[in-house]
Structure 1
């Protein structure tokens, strides 16, 4: 009996290039995967943005892991929701205000903060609300994730400082100028743990620090070669693109007779 397979991909930098489009090769690879596996997404973006990119590219998703795992949908139903506590939202806002940092906070419907996005086409139909003083208005909102946006030169130092200041929260470095904060126990890996029980084989694709926990919860993992070295080292394989990773995976599965009749 062939194994039941689940493939889960990160979006930006892995499946979606330049935070805008899925290129034709990667879309072809998605269709190949769908012939023998369920297909799902795990991202730091909101579930609404996952729906947007899926509808735009006519992609069928079984599981949607948003906000790095703070909100998880499975077969159209929400199975997990863990926003930051009100107390933690207040403490984070106070820290950001004191340090005069640029940020945006995600409540599921919009991005709210003092961040001005240079490329509105990267927002995927998500409203960006930029305020001179967003702190008071955010204190009463349900927040799933903060994106803190220091400059490249100080990003590493702020990442370490945030981990010391908020040791009870999950803090990921996602690129040179973005640090992501979610509630304790929230990660892509936890999201994968929630949805993988019905599968015999789970494969992940990613390219960022917030994908490491997902790599750890899957049987096979692929890291895109543009990722930092420390992320690459946590994956089973490193590949130049999503398409090439899928072709490598297909070769493995044919050899193991999971998809012996698959044509590609």
Structure 2
């Protein structure tokens, strides 16, 4: 059976958002005879390539910015930035609410967000200014990360979803809200690449992985994920290595 294994990065394949652990890398190597390996993340293609290069991965497809950019090994298959008029409204909202954010153009993170863990930037330049909006004029932006306090994240998530019905809004983690163009998701990225594969197996841990779980034939959610995310997956496991062990054991693959 020709499988496609699609994994999220942060909190899933890169558990600490810095480096792939040796057990998880060994688990990836176990999968090689059984299908192709793809990455679907809220991060940029540039950051996906960093993980690939650091770990010498063989990756058939890259799904970046939650599906706003999709590439196979050589070809750009899909590209969708946030429409200009919507982006202006989002920035006006962020300014009015005095929210912390970073906007991603594929090369840089631009905003008023000062990253607390520089090692997790993966060669992505961070531009942080108190008033960054002039830097974003006429920029093509694929995704905006909004970063409210944990105690306010749920309220802002619902408020942003209501204020911007023409955009996709995901809650990712306890203090991050992700905004992309309408109908953009990891699932939309997978739908572009799934023809030719008999089975899609997805791995994730966050709200932006739920649609991916739903479009996959089989899904694994990390046990640190919110309960509402866990409930949308086929199986809940401790980490990526545990997911692969379960897959090999229960889905008739012998090593």
Residue aligning to 1:91: 89
**TM-score (ref. length: structure 1):** 0.95
- Which residue of 1 is the match for residue 212 of structure 2? 214
Q: What is the aligned residue count?
A: 255
Query: Deviation per CA, 1:109-157, whole angstroms, max 9, x where unpaired?
Result: 0000000011110100000001121112212100000000000010110
- The residue aligned with 2:74 is 76
Runs of 4+ with deviation above 3 angstroms: none
Choose from 229, 236, 239 the match for 1:238. 236
- RMSD of equivalent CA atoms: 0.8
Deviation string for 1:168-227 (max 9, x for gaps)? 110000011100000000000000111011100110000000000000111000000000
Aligned to 2:158: 160
* Corresponding position: 1:23 with 2:24: no
Identify the residue that residue 167 of structure 2 maps to in structure 1. 169
Matches within 5 A, 1:115-130: 115-130=113-128
- The equivalent position to 1:111 in structure 2, one of 103, 109, 112, is 109
Partner Cα distance (2:9, 2:165) in 1: 27
Q: How far, CA to CA, are the matches of 1:252 and 1:76 in structure 2?
A: 34
Residues in 2 aligned to 1:96 and 1:135: alpha-carbon distance in whole angstroms? 10
Q: Could you tell me how far apart the structure 1 residues matched to 2:184 and 2:6 are?
A: 17
Equivalent in the alignment of 2:227: 229
- Matches of 1:91 and 1:217 in 2, distance apart? 31
Name the CA distance, whole Å, in 2 between partners of 1:36 and 1:188.
22
Deviation of 1:18 after TM superposition, in Å, equals 1.2
Task: Please list every run of 5 or more consecutive structure 2 residues that lacks an aligned counterpart in the other structure.
Answer: none
C-alpha displacement at 1:17, in angstroms?
1.7
